[in-house]
Amino acid sequence: MNKFKRKVAVTESCSVAGGPLAVTDANVVLGRIIPRYFPQIFGATEDQPLDVAASRCAFEELTNMVQGIHFAVFIIDFSNNSVTY
């Protein structure tokens, strides 16, 4: 469980405000929100625009983590089903 928490923390640190991914991040990555029309309310001084690159980075890290988990489950399933008794 600790490894999972550590990986999630890495994903969180990459998002727009340094917090966890949000629906806003998803909408930005999908192009449903145009950053130049969104209020500049991010950053320490709350005057920064949405950071599209940070949102994409966070989703890429999350995707890699999920793919890794799926691959690990596949390996376990394969090994469990391949054992001959």
What pLDDT was estimated at residue 85? 58
pLDDT > 60? residue 2 = no
| pLDDT tens, position by position, 19-52 | 788 888 888 999 999 988 988 888 778 888 888 8
**CA–CA separation, 16 vs 46, rounded Å?**
12
- For the chain, what percent of residues have pLDDT higher than 70? 75
pLDDT surpasses 80 at 7: no
Angle subtended by helix axes 52-82 and 2-12, to nearest 10: 160
CB 56 within 8 A of CB 5: no
Hey, where are the domains in the chain?
A: 2-82
